[in-house]
Chain A
Amino acid sequence: MKGEPLVILLVEDDPAHAEIVRRNFDSFRMANRLIHVSDGQAALDYLYRRGKFQDPVGSPRPNLVLLDLRLPKVDGLEVLKTVKSDPSLSRIPVVVLTTSATETDMVKAYDRHANSYLVKPVEFPQFVALMDALGYYWLAWNEFPY
């Protein structure tokens, strides 16, 4: 269904970081829709259309999940595990986007079948470059099954 805006679910507890991602995605020329939730529980509720996310129009199935690891309530690794072990969700690409560069986090993320693991760069130009690359790769080049 090309032509329809691609839906990106951003799971990020830090409002400032969410704002950075939003600003980058807003600058893309292609149609996309960024939905932001701020903890793991909300992410799962969104994906399973529970509570306030029951409306399929207001809460469409995402084409990509950008997932922070350190999250309130249910942490990112738990969300990742749930998504990847559920056949109805497991094909949704999940890109881990976190400040943690520790190896244990990377190993745990890949063990739970993360599609990519990205560390938020401290320097602004790199952050912008990463977001550009991420957007072009996942939104322009990557093919999603429908």
Chain B
Amino acid sequence: QDFYRNEHDQRPYLAILVPVYDGKDENRAMAVLLFRIDPETHLYPFLRRWPTPSRTAETLLLRREANDALILNELKFRKNTALTLRFLLDEKSKLPAVLAVLGRKGIIEGVDYRGMPVLADVRAVPDSPWYLVSRMDRSEVYAPVRERLWGLVILVSVLLLGAAAGVGMVWRQQGVRHYRERYEAAESLHESESRWRILVDGVKDYAIILLDPGGHVVNWNAGAERMKGYRSDEIIGQHYSRFFTREDQQENKPQLLLAAAESLGRTDEEGWRERKDGSRFWADAVISVLRREDGSLYGFAKITRDLTERRKVEEELQESERKFRTLFETMTEGVALHEVVCDENGKPVDYRILDINPAYGVQTGLTPERAGCALASELYGTGAPPYLAEYEQVARSGEALVFETYFPPMKKHFRISAVSPKKGQFATVFEDITERIRREEELKRKTAELERFTYTISHDLKSPLVTVKAFLGYLEQDLSRSDAGRIAKDMQYIRAAADKMGQLLDELLVMSRVGRVVHPPVCVTLRELVGEALGMVAGPIAERRVEVLVSDGDPLELIGDRPRLVEIWQNLVENAVKYMGDQASPRIEIGTERRGRDTVFFVRDNGMGIDPRHQAKVFGMFEKLDPASEGTGLGLALVQRIVELHRGTIWLESKGLGQGACFLFTLPDAVAEQAKGVTG
């Protein structure tokens, strides 16, 4: 088998000869089978594609013919090579085809038929005369390596460039930051300075002045300009002594102050200063010494404040304080300042006097020495501090409280205003209203009496009138009927009613005379008065056989309206006789007794007595307990009026019906007058 070139068409073919041997004689060929294969159809396309599709790679099939290597296939880069192209078998040849035929095997480097450096895989085709060379241009083999190398180079270059750019950027940023920091530092310094400037200039109420060591103005703020009245350009460089008054300048005060500041560190002084226009103001000036770090004198800071207004206010306050103090000292109302005292649990238990005015001393009899710091519970002798709850509320809430009260230890009525000047303290203003209360009570009584009068007119006087008119009517009827018995009765009723009316009018007149018609006061003994009264009631006393006992152990003298005073005993004795009841041995006792500081007069009987339920009514005008009794019920009302005119009181003591009655009364004015007369 081998390639050959056909003589007729000049084309290469591959022929395979297969001898057919005789079965019996294996060395004898009986025939030969010839297979002709067109390599152009079956082999070359395969070789052209093999080993890989490539731009330069190709496969060469060749055989040895004599001293040549003969190419058996068609080549990529030369036409008509099959069975025509041959190379001389030279040991020094670099052709892979030659080296293959010469027996080399494996990968070799060489130069191909075109003269190009190639890499080739060479080997013999086993069991044939053929050799196979697969070759590829070195350029193609190394192309990927070169590409990678270039890639590497580019990569490294890019990295280098990137690094350089990074370093450059960092450098640049460092630079920017550096410059920014420097800018910001400068800016903040500027801002800090301007803030200080704004602050110093913004302080309008203080003049802030920087002085050099000699006392010349180096700088000042807007406040100083405002206070002193100079413009900055007028004053900078000038000596600060021009702010002082002429007198102070003459006394060398500016220099003395600086010297003092230098030695003491600072001076603080209040005094008059002068503005540019010559007007003065009261200044509080502080001069502080300023030193450098090495201790040398840099200058002075002078801070001045205008205290004119405050001084004025202080003076006004002092004046006001003086005025109020004078008021406090001279006012007629008693004023006391107190402080609430609490126990350890914070519970208010007492209060302490802090200050009292003279009027308070007069009202209470306390002196500032005794009252000062004393506890109320001890001072007033009441045991418990008076009105503590009320005062404590005022001191706690701060709300003023006004109340009127009767203070038994002093037997006086007070109107007390309590105010709280500060928490925990209270001031009380005392007004002695005893007299006012007395007058109010008197007025109340008078009003009640007046109402009684009115009522009397409308009722008691009307009553007999009704009787008169009614029985006149009956009288007419009875006259027409000539009923003699009825006529007599009618006329009796009419007469009784008319008499009662007359009596009422008389007694009203007597009543109205009490306190209106006043006899000149005279000095008279109790015995005389009682004697005169008994004389006027002598008839009934004798008639009822009443025993009258007058006890005058203490020969008492009274001063007053004698007829009125007599009326007291006259009415009381008359009453006692009238209501003696069925007492077998009627007795009346008249005398006095001491009850505390009061002289109490009494008229006691052993008669009917008065039911306690009715005792309140007995002093009422025209009140009668027994409608059948004589009189109009005016007697006791009259007595009460006379007693009250002498600032006294009258009351009744009776255990009840059948127990007798005792009328007791005081006459302070009549007795007090007498006391005065004795001492006078």
Contacts and interface: CB of A to CB of B under 8 A. Distances in A.
A53 B626 CA distance: 18
Contacts of A70: 459-460
A98 B469 CA distance: 16
A146 B80 CA distance: 170
B462 interface: yes
A68 B611 CA distance: 22
B338 to A, nearest CB: 47
Contacts of B617: 73, 75
A127 B455 contact: no
A98 B455 CA distance: 12
A72 B627 CA distance: 6
Interface string B430-468: 000000000000000000000000110011101111110
B466 A127 contact: yes
A32 interface: no
B458 A102 contact: yes
Nearest to A42: B627
Contacts of A99: 458-459, 462-463, 466
Interface residues of B, number: 30
A101 to B, nearest CB: 7
Nearest to A69: B459
Interface stretch (B169-177, B194-202, B357-365, B471-479): B471-479
Q: Is the interface of A mostly helix, strand, loop or mixed?
A: loop
B317 interface: no
B470 A127 contact: yes
B614 interface: yes
Contact of A100 (B455, B472, B496): B455
Contacts of B466: 17, 20, 99, 120-122, 127
A12 to B, nearest CB: 9
B88 interface: no
Given A73-B614, A73-B617, A124-B472, A101 B458 contact: yes
A41 B625 CA distance: 10
B624 interface: yes
Given A73-B614, A73-B617, A14 B463 contact: yes
A122 B465 contact: yes
Interface in A101-141: 101-102, 120-125, 127-128
A71 B633 CA distance: 12
Contacts of A73: 611, 613-614, 617, 625
A7 B270 CA distance: 105
B628 interface: yes
Contacts of A20: 466-467, 470-471
A57 interface: no
A38 B627 contact: yes
A128 B473 contact: yes
B493 A122 contact: no
Nearest to A123: B469
B623 interface: yes
A39 B614 CA distance: 12
A20 B611 CA distance: 31
Interface string A36-75: 0011010000000000000000000000000000111111
B497 interface: yes
Contact of A72 (B454, B463, B472, B626): B626
A125 B463 CA distance: 16
Interface in A7-49: 13-14, 16-17, 19-20, 23, 38-39, 41
14 contacts: A16-B496, A19-B493, A38-B628, A71-B627, A72-B626, A72-B627, A73-B611, A73-B614, A99-B459, A99-B463, A100-B455, A122-B465, A123-B469, A125-B473
Interface of B: 454-455, 458-460, 462-467, 469-474, 493, 496-497, 611, 613-614, 617, 623-628
Interface of A: 13-14, 16-17, 19-20, 23, 38-39, 41, 70-75, 98-102, 120-125, 127-128
Given A19-B493, A71-B627, 10 more contacts: A16-B497, A17-B467, A20-B466, A20-B467, A73-B625, A102-B454, A102-B455, A122-B462, A122-B465, A124-B472
